[in-house]
Amino acid sequence: MNAPAEKKLFRLVGTRPIRPDGIEKVTGKAIYGPDFVAPNMLQGAILRSPHPHARIRGIDTSKAEVLPGVKAIVTGADFPELDSAMVAGGEAPANIKYMARKCMATDKVVFDGHPVAAVAATSATIAEAAIQLIEVDYEVLPHVIDIEDALRPDAPILHDDLFTQGLPELPTTPSNAAMRVEVRRGDAARALSEAAAVFSGRFTLRPVHQGYIEPHACVASWHADGQAQIWCSTQGHFTVRALTAGILGMEIADIRVVPLEIGGGFGGKTTVYLEPVAVLLSRKAGRPVRLAMKRDDVFRATGPAPGAVIDIRLGAGADGTISGAEVEFKYTGGGFPGAHEVYAGLHCTMSYYNVPDAHIVGWNVLSNIPTVHAYRAPGAPQVNFAVESAMDELARRLGIDPIDIRLRNIARPGDTGGMGMPHGAIGYAETLEAAKAHPHYSAPLGPNQARGVACGSWGNYGGPSTAAVSVAEDGSILVTEGNPDIGGSRASMAIMAAETLGIAYEKVRVVVADTSSIGYSMGTGGSRTTFATGKAVIQAAEAVIAILRERAAKQWNVAAGEVQWGGGEAVHGDRRLSLGQIAAASGTTGGPISAQAAIDPHDYLPGFGVHICDTEVDRETGQVSIVRYTALQDVGRAIHADYVEGQIQGGAVQGIGWALNEAYVYNQAGLLDNPGFLDYRMPVASDMPMIDAVMIEVPNPAHPYGVKGVGETPIVPPLAAVANAVSGAIGIRMCDLPITPDRVYGLLLAAE
């Protein structure tokens, strides 16, 4: 781990104090989504489609209605009619009509597990029994799962009213291709025809799930005056509020969403699945209603990340300078349009390399799987897998060290990079240089072992955040913010507030407030919280300091401009007033001391990672093991070093799982064949080595403490890092994920 000399600049930033919500979480006291109980609460259950694609001819709920204990039943008919309209929320605007249909089908089901009805009853057992009594008359339709199948002329069409967006002319026949996006710069075809080496290849990936351990759960309580309260675990309670209000036609201020502790999200909890249904059930029953998913519901019916088919042609000169790129990627969209991964895929394709001539095309292709949803750097890992695999091949063919070829092409501050936008204070080259100098990169390898390297980037984000800082009567500090703490952000906010105020970390307590108790804050996603909400906290703290200086000035009877703030004290000459002393006197100097900042910063900077992976391949069985792994990342500056390293380590391991074993498997009937943790194989502790996380600190000048955002970048490089290592070990390019033992074995057999 590097420790730059400038670290001493700060007292608390970069240290590793105990998180303020820690005790609750190691003792089992913390209340997560499925833990919350409201008095007189009913238990809900959801009836889900057993077909991947069917028309609903009718739903008969009469038998369920008369079951003793059943208090409410909801179907698609209970949802208001909605026109297509975009509603702000999540990481991007959402089409409210499709959002509603994802929560509850109306005329058609479009994936295995699609909700068709819901029940609230006096016990979970009765609710489960009641949904079995609901009779749905389905006209089963042909289904389609895979991207290429969905694009065939004779493919079953999911939506008769869907015409491909983004073509020069709007087509007249409906299609499963929801959208085409394109970037063209220079003349890629000519550049490729003149290149010294060109790699052409097709890469494929299956959909994968975010895999958070906490299933979705909520409790909703609707009141007769039209107000409602929702308790749920979510990455964005303001998003839950906006989407629920939009779907149900309610006033936003009539809904109060209380965020409970959240058991993982990784992007998957930036939307609604249960909340509008629970509100409707509660409205009918007149009592609070809990809805909670089981694990198979989570896999069958919540957004996986898109699978992909990616064609790439990448050319370079003899010295390794990239001359041109042609990339066409097709991402699965799932049951409904609106997935944003193709935009991110477009922006992330070679964003960190200087590529003068490029032509990049992306497609969002619908099929009978759940609507895909954000998963950590949504849309980036797939296309980056193809790009970094192609870079590896070019390096091999040209006889250039894999890090050297990347250094030759890497964007430096001021360069425009792959997307033609100038880069600010980026540390791409520094991160690559650190990777090259890391002992791992030159360590000897054992038999059947090989080393893979790959880069990856994520743009990060800023966006709207509100935070308040209040001084208690004894001088202790309360920070109120609107971002659910998914991985230690309360600790980061406390560090930044304490650093700014010049006081001890333990003097600051942080509360994640409900939607009615703090101003709007975009959700915890996009690697934005420590950056944007952190900025709001710092600005609010600075505003509090201004008030404290005024108050001290009042006490001393001097001009506020003459009072300095330092070390947690007001200073005037050799006079000092501590925060506690000023707070204690506040009753006579102007009353409570508090400030709020509501901001919308967009001066964020991207993150960049370089991962080094050693694999060992058992050539007889095709089994791949990860024997050593190092992840280096330009983090801007770490606020809480443990949780920055933790993001890097966790993201790397998710990426390794994606590379090796994770995949959605659908059977011939179009039903998900592995909707559980036994057959959806996420890495377990014994599969992994230690993950050496190396923080490279090239601060973001637009943030007082240099924050860039770290959460998403680390899942981008591992797919290619692992694949490049395995390709090196067996001498066969790994173009298809996951790299399961039977796949490796099959390739080795075919090569013999």
Partner 1 sequence: MSSPAYHAPETIEQAVALLAGDTGARPLAGGTDIIVQMRSGRSAPSAIVDLKRIAGIGGVRPLPGGGFAIGATMPCTSLKDDAALAAAWPGVVEAANLIGSVQVRNRATLAGNLCNASPAADSVPALVAAGATCLVAGPHGERVVPVADIPAGPGRTSLAPGEFVVEIRLPPQAGADAYLRATPRTEMDIAVVGVGASLALNADGICTAARIAVGAVAPTVLLVGDAGAALVGTRLDAAALERMADAVRAACRPIDDKRGTAEYRTAMAGVLAGRVVKIALERAGSKA
Partner 2 sequence: MSKLLVSTSVNGDPQQFLCDPDTTLLDALREEMGLTGSKEGCGSGDCGACTVMLDGRMVCSCLVLAPEVEGRQVTTIEGVAEGSRLHPIQRKFLEHGALQCGFCTPGFIVAAKALLDRNPDPSESEVRYWLAGNLCRCTGYDKIVRAVLDAAAELRQDRRAVA
Residues at the contact surface with partner 1, assessed by CB under 8 A:
125-126, 128-129, 296, 620-623, 660-661, 665, 667, 673-674, 677-679, 681, 683-684, 686-687, 740-742, 745-746, 749
Residue 313 makes contact with partner 2 by CB under 8 A: no
Contact 174, 156 (CB under 8 A): no
Strands (E), 9-166: 42-48, 54-60, 70-75, 86-87, 94-95, 108-109, 115-121, 135-140
Residue 116 makes contact with partner 2 by CB under 8 A: no
Choosing from 90, 115, 207, 263, the residue that interacts with partner 2 (CB under 8 A) is: 263
Q: Which does 388 bind (CB under 5 to 8 A by kind): partner 2, partner 1, none?
A: none
In angstroms, what is the minimal distance from the CB of 661 to partner 1? 5
Structure tokens at 484: 């659910």
Whether omega for the bond prior to residue 402 falls within 30 degrees of 0, making it cis, is no
In angstroms, what is the minimal distance from the CB of 633 to partner 2? 13
Choosing from 14, 44, 52, 211, the residue that interacts with partner 2 (CB under 8 A) is: 211
The C-alpha atoms of residue 430 and residue 608 are separated, in whole angstroms, by 10
Sign of torsion, CA 21 27 30 33?
Answer: positive
In angstroms, what is the minimal distance from the CB of 43 to partner 1? 13
In 502-564, which ranges are continuous DSSP H helix? 534-556
Residue 676 makes contact with partner 2 by CB under 8 A: yes
Choosing from 4, 34, 156, 356, the residue that interacts with partner 2 (CB under 8 A) is: 34
Q: Which does 645 bind (CB under 5 to 8 A by kind): partner 2, partner 1, none?
A: partner 2
Q: Which does 690 bind (CB under 5 to 8 A by kind): partner 1, partner 2, none?
A: partner 2
Choosing from 35, 194, 415, 736, the residue that interacts with partner 2 (CB under 8 A) is: 35
3-state secondary structure of 356: coil
Name which of 342, 400, 382, 309 is nearest 718 in CA terms: 382
The C-alpha atoms of residue 143 and residue 305 are separated, in whole angstroms, by 20
The residue (of 69 and 317) whose beta carbon lies closer to partner 1 is 69
The residue (of 268 and 738) whose beta carbon lies closer to partner 1 is 738
Residue 28 makes contact with partner 2 by CB under 8 A: yes
In angstroms, what is the minimal distance from the CB of 724 to partner 2? 20
Q: Which does 302 bind (CB under 5 to 8 A by kind): partner 2, partner 1, none?
A: none
The residue (of 10 and 745) whose beta carbon lies closer to partner 1 is 745
Q: Which does 575 bind (CB under 5 to 8 A by kind): partner 2, partner 1, none?
A: none
The residue (of 21 and 514) whose beta carbon lies closer to partner 2 is 21
Q: Which does 25 bind (CB under 5 to 8 A by kind): partner 2, partner 1, none?
A: partner 2
Q: Compose the 681-710 pattern: x for residues touching partner 2 by CB under 8 A, - for all others.
A: -xxxxxxx-xx-x-----------------
The residue (of 14 and 655) whose beta carbon lies closer to partner 1 is 655
Q: Which does 149 bind (CB under 5 to 8 A by kind): partner 2, partner 1, none?
A: none
DSSP state of 80: P
Q: Which does 674 bind (CB under 5 to 8 A by kind): partner 2, partner 1, none?
A: partner 1
Provide CB contacts within 8 A for 573, sequence distance 6+: none
Strand order through the sheet with 228-232: 70-75, 115-121, 42-48, 289-292, 217-222, 228-232, 255-259
The C-alpha atoms of residue 400 and residue 397 are separated, in whole angstroms, by 8
Q: What are the φ and ψ backbone dihedral angles of 121, each rounded to 5 degrees?
A: -145, 175
Residues in 399-428 at the binding interface with partner 2, rule: CB under 8 A:
none
Specify which residues 94 forms β-bridges with.
Answer: 87
The C-alpha atoms of residue 300 and residue 49 are separated, in whole angstroms, by 10
The residue (of 646 and 741) whose beta carbon lies closer to partner 2 is 646
Choosing from 111, 138, 199, 212, the residue that interacts with partner 2 (CB under 8 A) is: 212
Strands (E), 251-345: 255-259, 289-292, 308-316, 322-334
The C-alpha atoms of residue 93 and residue 89 are separated, in whole angstroms, by 6
Residue 23 makes contact with partner 2 by CB under 8 A: yes
Burial (CB count within 10 angstroms: exposed 0-12, middle 13-18, buried 19+), residue 130: buried
The residue (of 4 and 264) whose beta carbon lies closer to partner 2 is 264
In angstroms, what is the minimal distance from the CB of 121 to partner 2? 15
Residue 486 makes contact with partner 2 by CB under 8 A: yes
In angstroms, what is the minimal distance from the CB of 48 to partner 2? 16
The C-alpha atoms of residue 180 and residue 171 are separated, in whole angstroms, by 12
DSSP state of 714: G
Question: Which whole-number Å values give the CA distances from 378 to 250, 306, 307, 338, 719, in the listed order?
Answer: 30, 9, 11, 13, 14
Residue 738 makes contact with partner 2 by CB under 8 A: no
The C-alpha atoms of residue 665 and residue 742 are separated, in whole angstroms, by 15
Residues near partner 2 (CB under 8 A) are 16, 18-19, 21-23, 25-32, 34-35, 125, 210-215, 261-266, 294-295, 486-488, 640, 642-643, 645-647, 649-654, 676-678, 682-688, 690-691, 693
